[in-house]
Amino acid sequence: MITFKIDGQQVKARPGWTVLETAREHGIEIPTLCFHPAVSASGACRLCMVELREGTWSKLVASCIYPVAEGLQVHTDTERVRNVRRWVLEMLLAACPASPEIAALAAKYDVVRTRFTSHDPDQTCMVCGLCARVCDEVVGLSAIAIVDRGVHKRVGAPFAKPTDICVACGSCVTVCPTGAMQAIFDSVRGEPTTALTQLAAQ
């Protein structure tokens, strides 16, 4: 058993657990977006940041991928954590201004406007890759993936065409934290374009 503290509360954990899992087990809330229990954590959205303190020294880590250790001093609601959370939410607001889910989450943390410029007012996807992870790890296919690089990064099917690999199970739509997958889904599933011709009559 590993013993450490979250927000001053003494908690116990087993090796291999993460800070987020331990906090949730003890009823301490940490907001997340790209985390889903069905798949491995990736630490993409940085919303689950918590502060680790040791004397006068402190650092911020993503709790969903930070393993527990003896004697950690974790703080989930300090000024520094609140501040970085607000920054993350502001950036998310700029990245996906059309997502009502993001807007609602931001409003919960008193973020209602963003100082960053938004490039696409209709964007709902924050490219966290949760959908692609679900497709790979749960469904066992890779019908969708993160394609392109840098600012052009987006979720899509191979060659941006409906693909036969997709079995239209909708797991990606169900997990999507921003509701973006609903729009993308129809461009992934669907009949592949090859129309097939006749077999000869028997």
Partner 1 sequence: MSAQAKTGVFLCRCGEHIAPHINLELLEGMLRQEEGVAHCETMAFPCLKPGIEQITQVTADKQLNRIIVAGCEGRLMLNKLETQLRPLELLKGQIDMVNLRGHVASVSDLDPDQKAQKAAKLMVAAVSEMNALHPSSLTRAKIQGPVMIVGDGIAAYPAAAELARHKIDYLLTVPSNDPDDIVDTVHETYPGERVSHDRLKKIVKEGLSNPCATLLVGYKLEMLSGVTGDYHLTFTNPNGETEKFAAGAIIACLDAQFGLPGPGFGHDGVKVMIPSEMERHIQKSGAPKGTVVFWVSDYEIGQPEFAALSAKTAWQMGVHIRQCAPTSKVVMLYNQQMEVPLTAAERAQNRALDILWVPYDKAMQPTVQDGYLTFCNLSDHVEHEILWDYLVLSPQRMVSGQALNTAHILGLVHKHGRFLTGHHARVRPEMVGREETYLAGSARLPCSLQDTLAQGRKAAAKTAEMFHKSAQGDLFVPRVVCVVDPEKCIGCGQCQELCDCGGIGVADGPGGGLPRIVDPMVCTGGGTCAAACPYHALVLQNNSNDQREARVAALAQRLGPDESMAFVCGWGGLPAADVAGKQALKYDPRIYLLGVPCVGQIDACAMARAFKEGASGLLLVGCLPETCHHSYGLDHAWARVSTIKKLLSLCGFDRRRIALAHADLNHPLDFVKTMDSFTRSIAAMGPIPKSLENQNKLDALYGLIRNNTRVRHLLSAGLRRPWEEIYRGDQRHALDYDRDFSKVLAEEFLQQRLLMVFRKAKGPFNLDQLTGQVQEDQKEVATCLWDMVKSGVIHFSHMKHEAVYTLRK
Enumerate binding residues for partner 1 (CB under 8 A). 13-14, 16-18, 21-22, 24-27, 29, 36-38, 134, 138, 141, 164-165, 167-171, 173-175, 179, 182, 185-186, 193-200, 202
Give 29 or 122: the residue with its C-beta nearer to partner 1: 29
**Minimum distance of partner 1 from residue 127's CB (angstroms):** 20
**Among 22, 71, 19, which Cα is nearest to 50's?**
19
Give 106 or 177: the residue with its C-beta nearer to partner 1: 177
**Minimum distance of partner 1 from residue 60's CB (angstroms):** 22
Q: Which phi and psi angles does 13 have, rounded to 5°?
A: -145, 160
Give 16 or 55: the residue with its C-beta nearer to partner 1: 16
What is the rounded radius of gyration, in angstroms, for the C-alpha atoms of the chain? 20
**Minimum distance of partner 1 from residue 173's CB (angstroms):** 6
Quick one: angle between helices 79-95 and 100-108, nearest 10? 160
Which DSSP letter does residue 16 get? T
**Minimum distance of partner 1 from residue 140's CB (angstroms):** 8
Give 10 or 197: the residue with its C-beta nearer to partner 1: 197
**Among 78, 92, 79, which Cα is nearest to 44's?**
92
**Minimum distance of partner 1 from residue 110's CB (angstroms):** 18
- Spatial neighbors of 146 by CB under 8 A, at least 6 apart, are 127, 129, 132, 153, 154, 155
Give 93 or 130: the residue with its C-beta nearer to partner 1: 130
Give 55 or 140: the residue with its C-beta nearer to partner 1: 140
Angle at 50 between CA 13 and CA 28, to 5 degrees: 55
Report the distance separating Cα 141 and Cα 166, nearest Å: 8
**Minimum distance of partner 1 from residue 178's CB (angstroms):** 12
